Structure 1
């Protein structure tokens, strides 16, 4: 669970998104008295933000009603977490879970949030701070397992199967993006659905700087083994840098945000601090 200190700091930030920035402006206008975006009332539900309760209606009826705005009915944030075997290496999945928990806390203040795993599982839709523990519990249960979870296939599956209206959602992909297939087709699938997107590529120290010497490498995705020496290790380092550069270029060309997050920290508190700082540096979290 995210610390109380981080939760207090997160209240100062919002998610970087074209969709959410437009929605925030609309909501600010309505709360300033410009009610053109007001849509309807509905009975208060557990998890609704108290600031959207209409207390004047309560004074008349003694019943709680939540004010609905057009944006509130449609804006969705989808956190998509890589649970493929490679994420178990170098604390990437542990780090990714913390990143997702930080982001879900911010997202559920202003939007409906849903968490998706590469293995096809998805949390219920949630909105409001009261629903944060449910989202955090789902995220904490994400485990790396084998199966059809290669990033490109998993991201395409998410884009094709998830229900949302074009132009009303933000997808945040949390993955090492290690795949033999180019990311291009996954980017096309997301763009075709009218989603805004941020790609957070997680890398561990061992991904970038493997141990020197004579080694036997195990591909945790395929199970293949390979004997390598110093020359192959040097070639691997160069190949990884080219792969990261290609991935960044492809995401940016598609019009999405890209951030490379290096896994740092040893204990849970250290990983949390590192994840928070990385999201600020990357511009994924911005001042409200």
Structure 2
């Protein structure tokens, strides 16, 4: 049976977060040093030997057990279109995976700006639609899972009356406003995705789709 874990290393080329920056075994490349008696033969860097005629030992970074904080957004917008119930399903799945590495991982609930700060990786499940200063709110180590309803991603191009559940304001819209909304949403999603990938991982899930395949496809979950 395949086992999975939450991927926490930033997807874009920033320093990794899962690995400690110290020498050890079992991680990523750290440095080469001259071979010394007693070094494992399997750690000899044969390409360096081929180039220099000298033996070198490959040193690696030591794996570090990661800590998780999982937060489910319960803002008013998440209570529309089944997003909160779907987010609960996603949160339970990610909590189960997190506890394979961190037995103390817990699921917290509340508005995005109210999540508990602390060490480790924040796993935030949200629709990301609140007008918040996301670069300041998201910590340096984050896995952002954005949950949207299919109709929010691709609204119908017809006349309608929209109501902002956060403020109570209403706004009549037509095809032009729907196109403007799509363009604004696309720009917002792109900015959130880039921000999250610089600090960890990102996935966009649509209500109703099976969570695990979507998280695997988008790199938030990976095989052990």
TM-score normalised over the length of structure 2:
0.70
1:154 maps to 114
Aligned CA-pair RMSD: 2.5
Q: 1:205 to 1:78 in 2, by over 3 A?
A: same
> 2 CA distance for matches of 1:173 and 1:78?
8
Q: Does 1:226 align with 2:162?
A: no
**Candidates 175, 190, 197, aligned match of 1:252:** 197
1:1-288 aligned at under 5 Å gives the runs: 12-18=3-9, 75-111=66-102, 112-118=104-110, 149=111, 151=112, 153-155=113-115, 158-159=116-117, 162=118, 164=119, 169-187=120-138, 190-191=139-140, 196-253=141-198, 255-265=199-209, 274-288=210-224
Q: Identify the residue that residue 46 of structure 2 maps to in structure 1.
A: none
Alignment check: 8 A CA contact 2:8 2:200 kept: no
Aligned length: 177
Structure 1 residue 275, shift from structure 2 partner: 0.6
Are the equivalent residues in 2 in contact too, given 1:90–1:205 (CA < 8 A)? no
Q: What is the CA–CA distance in structure 1 between the aligned matches of 2:72 and 2:150, rounded to whole Å? A: 20
Please, which runs of 5 or more residues in structure 1 have no aligned partner? 1-7, 30-70, 119-148, 266-273
> Which is strand-richer, 1 or 2?
2
In the superposition, relative to structure 1, how do residues 20 and 256 fare at CA in structure 2: closer, same or farther (>3 Å)? closer
CA distance in 2, matches of 1:94, 1:180: 22
TM-score (norm 1): 0.55
Post-superposition offset of 1:224: 0.9
Structure with greater contact order relative to length (CA < 8 Å, sep ≥ 6): 2
Q: Is the 8 A contact 1:172 1:199 kept in 2?
A: yes
Contact kept, 8 Å, 2:202 with 2:219, in 1: the verdict is: no
Structure in which a larger fraction of residues adopt helix = 1
Deviation at 1:106, TM superposition (A): 1.5
